[in-house]
Chain A
Amino acid sequence: MFAVEKYHKAHSVAEAVRLLAADPFAVPIAGGTDILVKLREGHREYANLVDIHAMPELTPITLEPDGSLAVGAGATFTQVIESELVQRHSPVLAEGASWVAGPQIRNVGTVGGNICNGSVCADSVPPLLVLDAELELQGPDGSRRIPLRGFHTGPGKVARGHAEVLTRIIVPPAPTGSFGAASIKYAMRQAMDITTIGCAASILLENDRIQWLKLAFSVAAPTPVRCPAAEAAAFGQPLDAATIAAVQAAVAADVSPRTSWRAPADFRLHIIRELAARAIDKAAARSAQPGRSTA
């Protein structure tokens, strides 16, 4: 028996917002694959639940009139992976989601939960960071749209207001031209494992020059991060070994990897540099496939 002290099922986002606003200790629960583990471990701060599990309002994955992809925060990893819209518009998001845990967890856990629990190792976050995703949150004062970049404020902390519900993740349309993206997870096993280092890259090439590079990591700093120094090192440069080496040198300024039982900091930095090169290679290879948007 989980030590649930108060439980309210919300039938709509508006009701969930009202219930959260009414209880300063309430937390929303969607898939529950993190919160229920926390409760089992005795974390009392999750004892008052506002249940938004499988709320129909939060699950659709749609294409917006402006060509953006809108992923319902309550969509499960499996729904994201199997969505034809995601595969066509932002396959790198499906790729990132496919690394999460195992099938049973992916069938229940949600992308919104993966973002909102603030975990530094969230597998869906690096791909969304290199796609410049935005978040739509609904709260007592209405709805607001903010960049995902900056939403993580510290280990396990995000800029979600207490009574706010993440409703949708918006991914802008992929640019036209030679654009590609890739996501790589480094872990001890290929499933059921917490990420040691996660990396995603998106790249736009023109005549073999890098128009721009976007690079993001999980577990490389106290929050998932984008890499402005590494990205600047690639800007306008030819896609060659010298540029990759410059990116690998520059990325150290963007990250602050920690030592944990999983890996020491210097080993993590080695992996960060290696994954940067591999993710750029993979993204660039995908950008070379004409007639296919490969975000």
Chain B
Amino acid sequence: MSHTITVTINGKLESAQVEPGMSLLDFLRAQGLTGTKQGCGVGECGACTVLVDGTPVDSCLFLAVWADGKAVRTIEGEARGHELSPVQEAYLEAGAVQCGYCTPGLVMTTTAFVEKHAGKPVSREDIRRGHAGNLCRCTGYTTIVNAVESCLKK
């Protein structure tokens, strides 16, 4: 019952056989892309956030077959060699990383948020609402909001 999907992952076109019950998260991790983390497995924590055609989704609740023909971005695609993406750099500068387990998902959420809101007025409340689908148990969020704010100012 497996299905062939063709998906662009971090700019690279891949073809693969997937079972219909396979989540996008399991598919990505099986490809060796283990930067995307599984947290709760039920769409509550955002640790597994990836971008599908630029939109943040919980990959634990997204079937791999739905990614057929789409472009998926994961944390592995954000840095260019040893050069961090502007969002990763902002997280580093703001001290928005502690244990790091939520960071890949948060960085992907922020990446889409910054792309969507570039040049628009954004309040700290808007940033909090826009990141409400990502739980972090270490930082207390303030440094994360600071990081997002500094990205928007660049």
Q: How many residues of chain B are within 8 Å of chain A by beta carbon?
A: 30
Instruction: Select B57's contact among A39, A51, A104, beta carbons within 8 Å.
Output: A104
| Nearest chain B residue, comparing its CB with the CB of A38 | B42
Cβ contacts under 8 Å, B145 to chain A? none
Partner-binding segment picked from A1-9, A13-21, A211-219: A1-9
A-B pair count, CB < 8 Å, reads 83
CA distance A190 to B130 in the complex (A): 12
Residue contact B66 to A53, C-beta cutoff 8 Å: yes
Whole-angstrom distance between the alpha carbons of A54 and B26 in the complex? Answer: 21
Q: How many chain A residues touch B (Cβ–Cβ < 8 Å)?
A: 27
| Distance of A42 Cα from B20 Cα, bound (Å) | 16
A28-57 contacts to B (CB < 8 Å) = 32-33, 36-37, 39-40, 49, 51, 53-54
B18 to chain A, nearest CB (A): 10
State whether B41 touches A40 (Cβ < 8 A).
yes
Whether the Cβ atoms of A104 and B20 lie closer than 8 Å is: no
Give the contacting residue for B23; candidates A2, A54, A190; CB below 8 A: A2
Of all chain A residues, the one with the shortest Cβ separation from B125 is A190
Residues of A within 8 A of B44 (CB): 192
Which residues of B sit under 8 angstroms from A39, Cβ to Cβ?
A: 21
Nearest-CB distance from A53 to chain B (Å)? Answer: 5
User: Would you list which residues of chain B between 116 and 154 have a CB under 8 Å from chain A?
Assistant: 129-135
Assess whether B132 is in contact with A54, with CB atoms less than 8 Å apart: no
Q: Does B109 contact A (CB under 8 A)?
A: yes
Residues of B near any A CB (own CB < 8 A)? 1, 19-23, 26, 41-44, 46, 49, 55-58, 61-63, 65-66, 109, 129-135
